[in-house]
Structure 1
Amino acid sequence: RACVCAWYHRDISRVYAEDLLARAGRDGSYLVRDSESVPGAYTTQGVQVNCFRTLEDLVLGYQQPHKGLVTPLLYPVPRDTDSGDESSGCMSSRQHCAELLLGDHFNSDFFCFNCTGGSPPPRSLQSWVTCCGLGHTPDDSTALLPHDIYALGTQENPQGEREWTEHIKATLRSYTHIDFKQVAVQSLWNIRLAVFVKPEHESRISHVNTASVKTGLGNTLGNKGAVGVSFHFNGTSFGFVNCHLTSGSDKVLRRNQNFVDILRLLSLGDKQLFAFDISLRFTHLFWCGDLNYRLDLDVQDILKHVSKREFEELMCADQLTQERHKRKAFLYFKEEKIAFPPTYRYERGSRDCYLWQKYKTSGVRVNVPSWCDRILWKSYPETHITCTAYGCTDDIFTSDHSPVFATYQVGVTSQSTSKTDSNSSTERAWIILEGIEAIVKTASKAKFFIEFHSLCLEETRRSSENDSQSCDVPGFLRLAWSFKQLPKLLPVMSEMDYLQDQHVLLSVKSCDGFESYGECCVALRSVTGASDQFETFLSHRGEEMGSIRGRVRVHVPKDKQATREKIYGGSHETGLLLISALLALSLPTKPSSSSSVTFFDSCEFHIASSIWFLNDPWLGFTLAGIYRLLPLLAPD
């Protein structure tokens, strides 16, 4: 039954929801809306910049609805007087504006392609790297504009590492006339990931790391697994993962376990953050690959929906969507809406029909058309990222998979030239935690402490053990730390705009075995210079473990509240990168292991958290997510 509660706003946008909350103007105000990223889900609670050839094109673009503005441009406002004397300064102002826009954007492409069948990739990759094809694609005015970063992932790629990277560089050079610089390339058997950057950004890249992890046949073979590349762009950390998961329609649990193993074992990023899985080590993490999740639907029904372009109906049968809804895989990751046909399994040499019957010596194997090839991302809270394209090519026929692409506009923080002031007489910034409460899924009766990690802190700090503990519901502990139990955190720098860009990672650990029972990320932007409450979920190794909330205050000395000098972005606080993510996917060439995997059943957790919600709204919300509880609020 549809919810009729006054606080349920149906399908309003995130921007409109934020405006409603701002107008409410009271702490504790809330609303519920339909999720924009996960179909069928609910949520409680940017600026998108496009490139245009002329000012007229800019105005025309924003006269259309749904272009990132609260309202389209409708009524032009004329100048009061014609100021001919100002024309000489007009061009310099325009030039300055253009420079600011360029420094304000970081565009990135991520590409994925499975080159199955032993055939090398096609000689021409231009449609792939320019994101031309089906789905959400760039318009003609922006399709050929070069992006700042290109990340390309392939599976079952028979080309050697050097031959493949030279192929990519030649393709990029042919249409951008730019000699892109290679940041890193990583391979595991025939799984490859290569990252390239514009020459002018090369000096801003640091802390480059690469890694791989095997997940085939008991995590010993590299026919399945993942490769990763990570780096810092000035003050913003990026992680890229390309994976090939277990195949087979009935191997959902194995794929979920593959994902957890990669989260846990891929050694990417700063070693100071190795206590956290890779989903919390980077400001922005992009994940592509042949994830191999299938459609749980009869092949004729799939073909019928595809012919009518009824992709939303098909997504209800998509295994990855189902597992994400159940919070069994890719917890807190996002994926742009899919508006292109399933990318697997086509007949090689054309894209006219799906070849869903696979003849083997053991019999006929049915591979229903599916979106095996996917690109997802996860970012720290209160950061800027917008997916500007997500689709697949329709003119590359060398594989039975269609290559997938995605492009992103990503906010990046500037690098500061300031140094930590070692003079003890100089007032410094500090971070005070005024109290924390956590709900942790555990049957343990041990005491707990909290560790605080961040590259912006002088050192890792930990709290004293909790001074309050109760078990209102079996299997869950409610923990609390007062002001006296929590440490004072000292940042390495005290500038206001530096601190506003920072994040602190928290880990709730047992005093007995120092084992983590949940981690989270807290943004300092909204609490810098004030005292405010944070509230978020706890997770551990891809599983939701509870929730945490508290009040934090960031003190900034008055003489540190001015704008700092920056290396990138002029006087701007952040920049935006354009990232291209290209995914190249493939079919398995060997039968996968048939060993079974036991996976946690969340039924009891759902029931417990639903009962808890009736007694304490915050407890229920933070334990299960409010979208699971709407049926309780409007019962039959």
Structure 2
Amino acid sequence: MVHIVTWNVATAPPPRDVSSLLQLDTSCTNTDMYIIGLQEVNSKILNFISDLAFDDPWSLHLMDILAPLNYVKLSSIRMQGLLLLTFVKHQHIPFIQDIRTNYIRTGLFGYWGNKGGVTIRMSIYGHMVCFMNCHLPAHMENANQRLDDFERMLDAQQFDDDSFGNMLEHDLVFWFGDLNFRISDFGIHFIREAINNNKYNLLWDKDQLNAAKKKEPFLQGFLEGPLKFKPTYKFDQNSDVYDTRWKTSLFGLNNKKRKPAWTDRILWKLKDVSGSEAKDTESDFEQILKVTLEKYTSHMSYGISDHKPVTGAFTLQVISFMFIY
């Protein structure tokens, strides 16, 4: 079982209790690997310099919790406020190989790392799997820029000594983070009324990412679980109440609030092998990787940020087929 977490933590330190976030409060915990993608980790210059010399507070806190449960920190990669952590059960370590990490900046035309992606790829029991934690541009009107940035990351993200042309040549890619896609057209009152009545389906067609998946070729094949949980942005801190703050403009105070949105997402894509070259006739077996989403949800109890964390639990299964000639 692979458990993926994405959370924009808004520079806050880690909460003391992360049991629900890591599914440690369930009666049977069978997670083999944790992939934890954080955005807006405190990246003030003094904090960042300290984190270069020592593990950051989030890494230390999670390691204190997971190490006694026989998890090993496989990797940690950070680019300013973006942090990607990988923890693996000890018994799987011999079967995880070819680990590579990298990052790509997209802020300020590629010169600043406040936006972009941090990535780890590895061979898991013989299958190449890639995980990318992203923080894409904010605001309703920047949907096209979000799409452009992600398409560029797919093409440009490379690893040392890499034989892959781009990310999509891996057997499996997970894409997650604060993707910042919004709900278009509908007004704030309609959106909140739909949420209050648990009629999330009324909002799905106007979700910018759902709309883009229907027309953008580079998003074809990316899958996501149903959005059957509340939009995860924007909340008042330490509450489950959507944005009530008055904003300050050049002309004084106004009551324009942010519309709720599913900014925090987890998607995945399996490599399309239908058009690949014919199988090597000297091989009698083909191993197929199957991915099953077990749970996709948000965690409303955490209030340190204006975002709520989102988790996805996935079963990865290797299926062998024998060919008879």
For the aligned pair, the TM-score class normalised by the smaller chain equals 0.7 to 0.9
What is the SS of the residue equivalent to 1:146? coil
Residue 62 of structure 1 corresponds to none
**Structure 1 position 125 matched with structure 2 position 18:** yes
CA apart distance, 1:192:
0.4
Which amino acid counterpart does residue 349 of structure 1 have in structure 2? N
Residue 30 of structure 2 corresponds to 146
CA apart distance, 1:171:
2.5
CA apart distance, 1:367:
1.8
Distance 1:354 1:247, change over 3 A: same
**Structure 1 position 390 matched with structure 2 position 301:** no
**Structure 1 position 341 matched with structure 2 position 208:** no
- The CA distance in 2 between the partners of 1:148 and 1:389, in whole Å, is 15
Superposed counterparts of 1:269-308, under 5 Å: 271-274=162-165, 277-280=166-169, 282-296=170-184, 297-308=186-197
Instruction: Please point out which of 96, 111, 118 is paired with 2:5.
Output: 111
Unaligned residue ranges in structure 2 (runs of 5+): 273-287
Superposed counterparts of 1:195-234, under 5 Å: 195-234=86-125
Distance 1:358 1:182, change over 3 A: farther
Superposed counterparts of 1:300-319, under 5 Å: 300-319=189-208
Residue 165 of structure 1 corresponds to 59
Instruction: Please point out which of 287, 306, 314 is paired with 1:400.
Output: 306
CA apart distance, 1:331:
2.5
Moved more, 320-329 or 339-348: 320-329
Which deviations, in whole Å up to 9, do the C-alpha atoms of 1:136-165 show, x marking residues without a partner? xxxx544xx131110000000127444321
Distance 1:295 1:153, change over 3 A: same
Residue 275 of structure 2 corresponds to none
CA apart distance, 1:324:
0.7
Which deviations, in whole Å up to 9, do the C-alpha atoms of 1:384-432 show, x marking residues without a partner? 110001001121100000011000000247xxxxxxxxxxxxxxxxxxx
- The CA distance in 1 between the partners of 2:168 and 2:250, in whole Å, is 40
Checking the alignment, whether the CA contact within 8 Å between 1:239 and 1:269 is kept in structure 2 is no
* TM norm structure 1: 0.45
Which deviations, in whole Å up to 9, do the C-alpha atoms of 1:325-371 show, x marking residues without a partner? 112663210001111000000000111x2006561444655421000
**Structure 1 position 178 matched with structure 2 position 40:** no
Q: Please say which structure displays the higher CA radius of gyration.
A: 1
- The CA distance in 1 between the partners of 2:136 and 2:262, in whole Å, is 13
Which amino acid counterpart does residue 405 of structure 1 have in structure 2? T
Distance 1:204 1:387, change over 3 A: same
What is the SS of the residue equivalent to 1:355? coil
- The CA distance in 1 between the partners of 2:74 and 2:103, in whole Å, is 16
Q: Which has the higher strand share?
A: 2
The two structures, once aligned, show a CA RMSD in angstroms of 2.1
**Structure 1 position 250 matched with structure 2 position 144:** no
- The CA distance in 2 between the partners of 1:131 and 1:376, in whole Å, is 23
- The CA distance in 1 between the partners of 2:17 and 2:35, in whole Å, is 17
- The CA distance in 2 between the partners of 1:395 and 1:329, in whole Å, is 35
Superposed counterparts of 1:74-93, under 5 Å: none
What is the SS of the residue equivalent to 2:69? coil
- The CA distance in 2 between the partners of 1:286 and 1:220, in whole Å, is 25
Residue 97 of structure 1 corresponds to none
Which deviations, in whole Å up to 9, do the C-alpha atoms of 1:242-299 show, x marking residues without a partner? 000000101111000011111012114862222xx2022x222111100000011100
Checking the alignment, whether the CA contact within 8 Å between 2:13 and 2:57 is kept in structure 1 is no
**Aligned-residue identity in percent:** 26
Which amino acid counterpart does residue 120 of structure 1 have in structure 2? P
What is the SS of the residue equivalent to 1:387? strand
- The CA distance in 1 between the partners of 2:191 and 2:207, in whole Å, is 11
Checking the alignment, whether the CA contact within 8 Å between 2:129 and 2:172 is kept in structure 1 is yes
Residue 78 of structure 1 corresponds to none
- The CA distance in 1 between the partners of 2:71 and 2:12, in whole Å, is 26
Residue 77 of structure 1 corresponds to none
Which amino acid counterpart does residue 12 of structure 2 have in structure 1? S
Checking the alignment, whether the CA contact within 8 Å between 2:221 and 2:270 is kept in structure 1 is no
Aligned residues, how many? 296
- 4+ runs deviating over 6 angstroms: none
What is the SS of the residue equivalent to 2:163? helix
